[in-house]
Amino acid sequence: MEGSQAIIKCLKENGINTIFGYPGGMILPLFDALSKTNDIDFILTTHEQSAAHAADGYARASGKAGVCIATSGPGATNLVTGIATAFMDSIPMVIITGQVDSSLLGKDSFQETDIFGITMPITKHNFKLQNANELIPLLRESFSLACSGRKGPVLIDIPKDFFYADVAYPAKEAEPPAAKPDADFLICAAEAINEILNSRRPVIIAGGGVIIGEAHKELLSFAEKYKIPVVSTLMGIGAFPSDHPLYMGFAGLHGRKSANYAVAEADLIIAVGSRFGDRQTGNITHYVYEKHFIHIDIDPAEIDKNVHSNIGLSGDMKTILNLLMQREPINNLNSWWQILQKHREKFAYEYTGKYDVPNIMHYISRSINKGDYVVATDVGQHQMWAAQHIRRYQPRTWFTSGGLGTMGFGLPAALGIQLYFGNEKRVIHIAGDGGIKMTGSEYYTIAALHLPIISIIINNESLGMIRQLQKVFYGARYFSCNFEYKMNYTKYIESFGIKAYTVHSMDEFVESFSDALKQKGPTALVVNIGKAFVDPMANTDARLNTFINF
Amino acid sequence: MKHALSVLVNNQPGVLLRVVSMFSRRAFNIDSLSVGITESPKYSRITIFFSGEVHIVDQMIKQLGKIPDVAAVQLHKPEDAVYRGMTLIKVKSSANNRLDILKIAELFRARVIDVQATTLIFEITGQDEKVLAFTRLLDPYGILEIIRTGQIALERGEQTITSNKKKNSFYGKNML
């Protein structure tokens, strides 16, 4: 079978029906094969970086591998930011890059780049094909690696002549049977239960791993069984229903104060699918002070990496949480809950309806509530405000670039997410004006496909998060963060044929948003708003419950 | 503290780079590196000597274990393993002092592998301390060049690196 035909067959074998990419000389044979099949929808983006983000978004929404393809040289290097984004957030992706002919390799041929070497530290694994008959076994291995264990992106680099070559298509080998927890593991789990039953002030931190490991139901039963308060990380939003009485909110550098107080005052942290990232813990010395830790993660290398845990359990999250529910609670957490209740009341945010971003986020949250909407954000101040004020009740209804913090991620990711959900759910895309200037060209693809995405652009004519960092750490010496030269975002978006609204007040926002919800196609609200600081912001030199005053 | 680590890897393109870059990425300094074939044509064996705190070594072993092409990782404790490395030393000598130099070499069990009118080349194997003492004694005669191979390490007794071979499912979906 011809190489490119075999690739399409293998994509279908792995349940792939939508892929993203951009053409170029060395991958054209695969495009030719794609033109002859109806089984795979190919989505042409305006830039390879967007193709990677869109495939990433598609994977975050579906839980399956996202696939993107690009040509050698500049096509491949443009993917790099998108691959690194997926890698940091453990998102399964398979990236296929075309490479120069095998006979031209190593001669600095036209558009030759060592993408294998470049992507080695930002992929879970990568392959450089050396003979055509490896094509199918290694492509299968790419899917298997991307989607198993701690998920992640896998890149496969294919010389152009292998797309034409006659390649073998061997039968698929059976997967090895699932491993079962051994005796040592069961002892460890029993010790973990003892820790939980002996704790007075336990807190569960729900991370992105709960969503990726599809263990949200088990997490809910586990928390309810022992009546343990739950906070979530930025990536864990949606892993636990935010209207649940046990939920204390989003914790971290810009977390809700009630959540940060819960973490800071806890005597036992049960981290489920969280890797104790520095934006979650703040100052690590203060963070670990007088606390015990139970760390549950699929990746054994995460245990004891950032925080030394008393008990580390690494493996499938569902199985582990089920193991931890085998005993009845004996500890009385009433006094802990009384403290938490006081924090909750003291730090409850009062929504005044004033024209500022928290109130806008609150309005969006109330409007979409538990409806068929999902939220995709970009990176910056709006992202933190959205995380603080938009309630999420289900996993895979909140999408954001956490680990890498990639500005420009939001719009192309929203494209991939909307394509996955089709008419089932609608994407509310939230971005800042800075991010829109980075990957705004993707409005072209969104308009061309008539996707019903609603964009909320928080236009404060500045890079708000940079401004905030310069305020706090650089004596308010603002530099390269205020856009003196004005541009008209409404006209920019309208130029793609997308309905855009200009907003200057809360009334205008409410009116435009409800109109946008009625539209069948893409819309965008350009929310012109004053500069502000994201509050709270935890002090990076002290405990998580000490905050910077603006 | 110094550590010796053996890494058994599949013979695949880029695997040495993958292992070595893991050290630089996590900010460890490699003191010595050696790569070679093994008893099985499927594998190569990499020996790395590096310095670092004990808890970091554990993290390193886990990170290396995650690389799909790594078949096994073994940490060698000094009391349970033998270490060897070879050093070649070229030293100036003339008919006047040749016998003196050869006598020193004999004490250290260094072998002469080349004799010229004005130079000698010695081969010496063994621990760092022994090599250091030997070079110190040769120094007054004028050392022209020193070259060292990476050190290698082997566990004493019947224990081999393959007894540490990870299960296929270690990093796969069946891992628990």
Domains and CATH numbers, chain B: 2-81+153-164 (3.30.70.260), 83-152 (3.30.70.1150)
In DSSP terms, B60 is beta-bridged to: none
ipTM: 0.87
Q: Give yes or no: residues A154 and A224 share one domain.
A: no
pLDDT at B165 over 80: no
Report residue B129's pLDDT band, with 50, 70 and 90 as the boundaries.
confident
Exposed/middle/buried for residue B109 (C-beta within 10 Å: 0-12, 13-18, 19+): exposed
Report residue B166's pLDDT band, with 50, 70 and 90 as the boundaries.
low
* Interchain CB distance below 8 Å, B66 and A130: no
Let me know if residue A68 belongs to a domain.
yes
Q: Give yes or no: residues A338 and A378 share one domain.
A: no
Let me know if residue A537 belongs to a domain.
no
pLDDT at B171 over 60: no
Low-confidence ranges of chain A (pLDDT < 50): none
Task: Spell out which residues of chain B touch residue A125, defining contact as CB-CB under 8 Å.
Answer: 67-68
Chain A interface, best mutation among B58, B70, B170, B173, by max A CB count within 10 A: B173
CA distance A542 to A547: 9
Q: Give yes or no: residues A231 and A160 share one domain.
A: no
Q: Give yes or no: residues A371 and A433 share one domain.
A: yes
* Interchain CB distance below 8 Å, B175 and A130: no
pLDDT of residue B167: 54
Task: Spell out which residues of chain A touch residue B174, defining contact as CB-CB under 8 Å.
Answer: 148, 175-179
Q: What is the CATH classification number for the domain harbouring A310?
A: 3.40.50.1220
- Among the candidates A347, A368, A383, a domain finishes at A347
Q: Give yes or no: residues A319 and A377 share one domain.
A: no
For residue A385, the tally of other CB atoms under 10 A from its CB is 25
Report residue B28's pLDDT band, with 50, 70 and 90 as the boundaries.
confident
Closest by Cβ to B66, choosing from A116, A301, A319: A301
Q: Give yes or no: residues A270 and A320 share one domain.
A: yes
Please give the tally of structural domains in chain A: 3
* Interchain CB distance below 8 Å, A120 and B14: yes
Q: Which domain holds residue A385?
A: 357-531
CA distance A488 to A412: 21
CA distance B52 to B3: 8
Q: Give yes or no: residues A43 and A92 share one domain.
A: yes
Q: Give yes or no: residues A341 and A364 share one domain.
A: no
Let me know if residue A244 belongs to a domain.
yes
Answer whether A463's CB lies under 8 Å from A488's CB: no
pLDDT at B89 over 80: yes
Closest by Cβ to A315, choosing from B14, B59, B175: B175
* Interchain CB distance below 8 Å, A176 and B66: no
Q: Which long-range contacts (CB under 8 A, 24 or more apart) does A537-540 make?
A: A537/A253, A537/A254, A537/A468, A537/A472, A538/A252, A538/A253, A538/A254, A538/A255, A538/A260, A538/A282, A539/A282, A539/A283, A540/A253, A540/A282, A540/A283
Helices (H), B1-127: 15-25, 54-65, 98-107
pLDDT of residue B169: 45
Q: Give yes or no: residues A224 and A130 share one domain.
A: no
Let me know if residue A545 belongs to a domain.
no
* Interchain CB distance below 8 Å, A144 and B172: yes
pLDDT of residue B95: 92
Q: What is the pLDDT of residues B46-60, one digit of tens each?
A: 999 998 888 788 888
Strand-pair category, B111-115 with B119-125:
antiparallel
Record the tokens describing residue A412, joined without a space: 């192309």
CA distance A92 to A152: 4
pLDDT at B173 over 50: no
Closest by Cβ to A304, choosing from B59, B167, B169: B59
- Among the candidates A290, A312, A347, a domain finishes at A347
User: pTM of the predicted model, to two decimals?
Assistant: 0.95
Q: Give yes or no: residues A266 and A408 share one domain.
A: no
pLDDT of residue A180: 81
Q: Measure Cα distances from A25 to A92, A110, A134, A493, B24 in Å.
A: 27, 10, 22, 31, 35
Averaged pLDDT score across all residues of chain A: 96
Tell which residue, A158, A129, A142, has the closest CA to residue A27.
Answer: A158
Let me know if residue A466 belongs to a domain.
yes
Tell whether B65 is within 8 A of chain A (Cβ): yes
Q: Give yes or no: residues A188 and A79 share one domain.
A: no
For residue A16, the tally of other CB atoms under 10 A from its CB is 20
Question: Is there a catalytic annotation at residue A48?
Answer: yes
Higher model confidence: residue A328 or residue B171?
A328
* Interchain CB distance below 8 Å, A121 and B25: yes
B48: left (phi over 0), alpha (psi -120 to 50) or beta: beta
Q: Give yes or no: residues A201 and A275 share one domain.
A: yes
pLDDT of residue B105: 96
Closest by Cβ to A179, choosing from B18, B66, B175: B175
A475: left (phi over 0), alpha (psi -120 to 50) or beta: left
Q: What is the CATH classification number for the domain harbouring A48?
A: 3.40.50.970
CA distance A419 to A427: 10
pLDDT of residue A46: 98
Let me know if residue A539 belongs to a domain.
no
Looking at chain B, the whole-number percentage of residues with pLDDT higher than 90 is 68
Answer whether A314's CB lies under 8 Å from A298's CB: yes
Let me know if residue A446 belongs to a domain.
yes
Q: Measure Cα distances from A227 to A184, A192, A206, A222 in Å.
A: 27, 16, 15, 8
Let me know if residue A322 belongs to a domain.
yes
For residue B15, the tally of other CB atoms under 10 A from its CB is 20
Does an H or E element contain A195, and which? helix A183-198
